[in-house]
Structure 1
Amino acid sequence: MDRFLYIAMSGAKETMHAQAINNHNLANANTDGFRQALATADTLPVRGPGHASRDYTQIGNDAVDFSKGKMQSTGRDMDIAIEGEGFIAVQGPDGEEGYTRAGSLHVDAFGLLRTAQGHQVLGDGGPIAIPPAEQIEIGTDGTISVRPLGVGPEALAAVERIRLVNPDTDELQRGDDGLFRLAEGGEAPADAEVRVVSGMLEGSNVNTVEALTRMIELSRHFEMQVKMMDSANTLEQSSNRLLGLG
Structure 2
Amino acid sequence: MDALIYTVMSGAERAMRAQQVHANNLANLETGGFRANLEMAGTQAVKGYGYAARHMSELQADAVSAKPGVQTTTGRDLDVAIQGDGLFAVEDPNGDGGEAYTRSGNFTTDADGRLLLGGRAVMGDGGAVTLPPEHTAVVVGADGSISVQVPGQTDMQVVDKLKLVKPSMSEMTKNAAGLLVSRDGGTLSADASVQVKGGHLEGSNVSAVEEMVATMSLNRDFEVQMKLLNKADSMADAGNRLIRE
Separation in 1, partners of 2:160, 2:51: 68
Residue 175 of structure 1: aligned partner: 175
Give matches, 1:66-215, under 5 Å. Answer: 66-95=66-95, 96-115=98-117, 117-132=118-133, 133-148=135-150, 150-151=151-152, 154-215=154-215
The residue identity in structure 2 corresponding to 1:146 is V
TM-score normalized by the length of structure 2 = 0.88
| The 10-residue stretch of structure 1 (68-77 or 231-240) with the greater mean CA deviation from structure 2 | 231-240
Structural RMSD (CA): 2.4
Q: How far 1:61 sits from its partner (Å)?
A: 5.7
Q: Given the superposition, is the C-alpha separation of residues 45 and 112 from structure 1 closer, same or farther in structure 2, using an over 3 Å criterion?
A: closer
Separation in 1, partners of 2:164, 2:197: 13
State the secondary structure of the residue aligned to 1:62. strand
Q: Percent identity?
A: 40
The residue identity in structure 2 corresponding to 1:79 is D
Q: Given the superposition, is the C-alpha separation of residues 46 and 143 from structure 1 closer, same or farther in structure 2, using an over 3 Å criterion?
A: closer
| The 10-residue stretch of structure 1 (34-43 or 209-218) with the greater mean CA deviation from structure 2 | 34-43
The residue identity in structure 2 corresponding to 1:173 is T
TM-score normalized by the length of structure 1 = 0.88
Separation in 2, partners of 1:69, 1:12: 32
Q: How far 1:233 sits from its partner (Å)?
A: 2.5
Q: How far 1:15 sits from its partner (Å)?
A: 0.9
Unaligned runs of at least 5 residues, structure 1: none
Unaligned runs of at least 5 residues, structure 2: none
The residue identity in structure 1 corresponding to 2:216 is I
Contact 1:78 1:105 in 2 (8 A): yes
- CA displacement, residues 36-64 of structure 1 (integer Å, 9 cap, x when unaligned): 11111123577987996x75422236322
Contact 1:98 1:179 in 2 (8 A): yes
Q: Given the superposition, is the C-alpha separation of residues 238 and 80 from structure 1 closer, same or farther in structure 2, using an over 3 Å criterion?
A: same
Q: How many residue pairs were aligned?
A: 241
Contact 1:17 1:39 in 2 (8 A): no
State the secondary structure of the residue aligned to 1:76. coil
Q: How far 1:235 sits from its partner (Å)?
A: 3.2
